Every structure is written in C-alpha cells, then in structure tokens.
Amino acid sequence: MDALTFAAPRSKRFVDWSEAYERVELYFLSLRIENKLLLSQLIAKILARASERLEDGAPLSPSVIAMQEARKELNEWFHAVLNAAGLESKDVGAHGRLALFLSNLPGNWQNEFMHPGPWPAEFLDEVRSAYLDTSPEFERSSMTPRPIRLGPVSALADGTWKAIDRWPYIGTAFVWGLYLAVLGCVFFLTR
C-alpha cells in the first residue's frame, strides 16, 4: 500500500473533506477494518482519488465522491480476489461483502485486505468457501392461490361499509352517533 499522501486542499470545502474522511472511515470500520495504519492508508488513497475527480469538475460534494470511490475501490478488489479464486459474479459488491463477513476476513486476513495480489492459497480457499455459501440454493416449487377466509367479523364489517357507502347521510350519522356514544361513556366513567 502507498504511503499516506493525501492532504486536504485549502479551500472553502475544507469542512467537506473532514466529513468525507469521517464517512470513509466509518465505512471501513463497518467492514471491521480495525488496523489504524491500514485504515489511514485506505482513507488517504480514497480521498486522493476523490480529490482528483473533484478537480476534474465533478458537481458532487467531496463526501459523496469519496464514498463512490470507496465502494468502487472495494468492488474492484473483490472482483480481483474472486477472479483469482476462480469465481464469477454479476453482483460482486453484495456477495463480496457477505463473503467478507462469513469468512471473517478482517479478523483473520487483515494484512491481505485491499492489497493487490497474488494472495496466499489459504486466503483464496477461505474466500471461495465463504463466497459459495452466499448463493441461495434454488428449488422449484409451485404455489396455488387459495381464497382467504377472514371470518364472520370481516363479513360484518364489509357489509357495514357497503351500507355506509350506499347511504352516505345515514352512514355519517351512524359514525357520529357511535363517536358521541363512546365520548359520553368515557365522560361518565371518568366522573
């Protein structure tokens, strides 16, 4: 990994770079990366790439660009690791993160995380076994629609609403009468 080379540009957006740093740091902490040196190197690399994109005229804030770069960098690393392990995937990000957690890569292989290959065979075996566990096992099944029976209370409520729809003035009077009756009961019970 490269040495720490990122320095936030002196501009009105300095506070935005602080927010970008915090977001990227929390993102990698959520992936269980706890090694401070590795974390600092990853954040510096991501923020340097975000700074380059921002200089090219990207209209987004530094924190949004930094998070896009962090996800892109992680997906590229997952893609390279999965290819080295002999696996193919359409959704590398989701399956890769799940394999990351299932195999406890941050705990067992923190020194290999986000580093370029070649990777040790044990590391690739662990990624392969965890990655294969992330795929669902599909089974064909058939579902036949059945009528839903909600019971006599549902039928009574349905009939009541249909009657209220047919005679709106009587329905309104009934609802207001019911409301006033409940209010009167509450009044006399609390006195």
If DSSP states are collapsed to H, E and C, what string results for the chain?
Answer: CCCCCCCCCCCCCHHHHHHHHHHHHHHHHHCCCCCHHHHHHHHHHHHHHHHHHHHCCCCCCHHHHHHHHHHHHHHHHHHHHHHHCCCCCCCHHHHHHHHHHHCCHHHHCCCCCCCCCCCCHHHHHHHHHHHHHHCCCCCCCCCCCCCCCCCHHHHHHHHHHHHHHHCHHHHHHHHHHHHHHHHHHHHHHHC
Highest mean pLDDT among 4-18, 79-93, 108-122: 108-122
Give this prediction's pTM.
0.59
41 lies in the same domain as 88? yes
Shared domain for 47 and 125, answered yes or no, is: yes
- Of residues 7 and 50, the one with the higher pLDDT is 50
In a domain, 148, yes or no: no
Q: Is the domain of 28 the same as that of 85?
A: yes
pLDDT higher than threshold 90 for residue 125 = no
Q: What is the pLDDT of residues 128-143, one digit of tens each?
A: 777 765 555 656 778 8
Residues 66 and 96 in one domain: yes
Residue 149 lies in a domain: no
Mean predicted lDDT score pLDDT of the chain: 79
Residue 7 has pLDDT above 60, yes or no: no
Q: What mean pLDDT comes out for the span 101-129?
A: 77
Considering the domain boundaries, does residue 175 fall inside one?
yes
What confidence score (pLDDT) does residue 186 get? 94
Residues 109 and 34 in one domain: yes
Q: Do 60 and 103 have their domain in common?
A: yes
- Asked whether residue 30 falls in the same domain as residue 122, the answer is yes
Find the mean pLDDT for residues 47-64: 81
Inform me whether the pLDDT recorded for 118 exceeds 90: no
Residues 103 and 160 in one domain: no
Q: Is residue 141 part of a domain?
A: no
Give 1's pLDDT tier (boundaries 50, 70, 90).
very low
* Number of structural domains found in the chain: 2
Residues 92 and 175 occupy one common structural domain? no
**Residue 16 CB partners (closer than 8 Å, separation 6+):** 61, 62, 63
**Residue 150 falls within a domain, yes or no?**
no
Residue 146 lies in a domain: no
Identify whether 3 is part of a domain: no
Judgement on whether residues 21 and 59 belong to the same structural domain of the protein? yes
Higher pLDDT, 13 or 29: 29
| 40 and 116 share one domain | yes
Q: Based on the domain organization, do 93 and 185 belong to the same domain?
A: no
- Over residues 103-113, mean pLDDT: 75
Model confidence at 75, pLDDT cuts 50, 70, 90, reads confident
Question: Is pLDDT at 188 greater than 70 in this prediction?
Answer: yes
Domain-located, residue 180: yes
Structural domain range at position 52: 14-134
